[in-house]
Amino acid sequence: MSLAHKSERTGNAIRRRVLIFAALCLFATGGRARAETPSISKSTITAAPGADLKPAVEVSSESWPVRLTMRLLEMKIHPYDHLWYQLTVTNFGDVPILIDPFVLAPTEVRWNAEGKKFIFFEVAGPKGLLIRCSSLGTETMIDDPPDPGTPAELLPGESRTTLPWAFNPYDYGHKPELPGPSPRGQFSELPNYLFSEPGEYRIRAVYDYVFPDNEKPEAQLRREGGIRVETPWVSFSVIR
């Protein structure tokens, strides 16, 4: 065998060893990369908008001709977390009723708690005392009903439900490239109650369709409206 032939065989063997070594290095690096990639806990994944999530609890109450239904997505949250809810108003009577579409807008529901009118929540803390809703500052309203200032008829058998909504603490939700937080399925976020302390809390929804202050007759001394519906209290836990 000539010296040139031996040199060529030696060169080929070296190249094969180099290729095998490189392949082993690449495989080992890829394996480490996969091993070091953190897995995403299922509990941290929220449903995409439009997903049909099942509520943890659903309660209803009625006073002719209005039925009020409250659904909560979760019964256990951590301190400073928010509840996620869905409210439905149903006309089970035989006559139309007037209901302003705006009173079911998620951002309006929480403001209603200030005046305790229309549709709002009452929340009691671990000591049994009612918790006042807090101011949130800047926020973005998503998918509020059209023409909110015009009362609309709710015909017999019809229902109206709150729209999915997520609280946006930053003023960027109006920008297409930064759409802001997404709702969790068909539920709305309730960000204006501060659950800072662990313990057992209670919440209920109230329908009290009073006259607007500027339209209330002077002779009307009764605080509540002609129709008032309160759902049963629902207990939920704030855990560390």
Structure tokens at 104: 């079911």
User: In the structure, what pLDDT confidence band is assigned to residue 101 with cuts at 50, 70 and 90?
Assistant: low
pLDDT at 115: 67
Residue 209 has pLDDT above 80, yes or no: no
Domain ranges for the chain, please list them: 1-37, 45-238
- The CA-atom distances, in angstroms, between 95 and each of 14, 56, 140 are 92, 33, 36
The architecture in CATH of the region 45-238 reads: Sandwich (2.60)
Q: Spell out the residues 6+ positions from residue 171 whose beta carbon is closer than 8 angstroms to its own.
A: 138, 140
Question: Exposure of 144 by Cβ count < 10 A (0-12 exposed, 13-18 middle, 19+ buried)?
Answer: middle
Of the ranges 11-15, 179-183, 202-206, the best mean pLDDT one:
202-206
User: In the structure, what pLDDT confidence band is assigned to residue 187 with cuts at 50, 70 and 90?
Assistant: very high
- The CA-atom distances, in angstroms, between 2 and each of 8, 9, 16, 114, 227 are 10, 11, 21, 99, 108
Q: Spell out the residues 6+ positions from residue 226 whose beta carbon is closer than 8 angstroms to its own.
A: 209
Report whether 206 contacts 212 (CB < 8 A): no
Q: What one-character DSSP code corresponds to residue 93? A: S
Report whether 47 contacts 184 (CB < 8 A): yes
pLDDT at 195: 93
Give kind and range of the element (H or E) at residue 184. none
- pLDDT tens, residue by residue, 106-144: 667 766 776 677 888 999 999 999 998 876 654 444 444
Of the ranges 35-39, 115-119, 141-145, 223-227, the best mean pLDDT one:
115-119
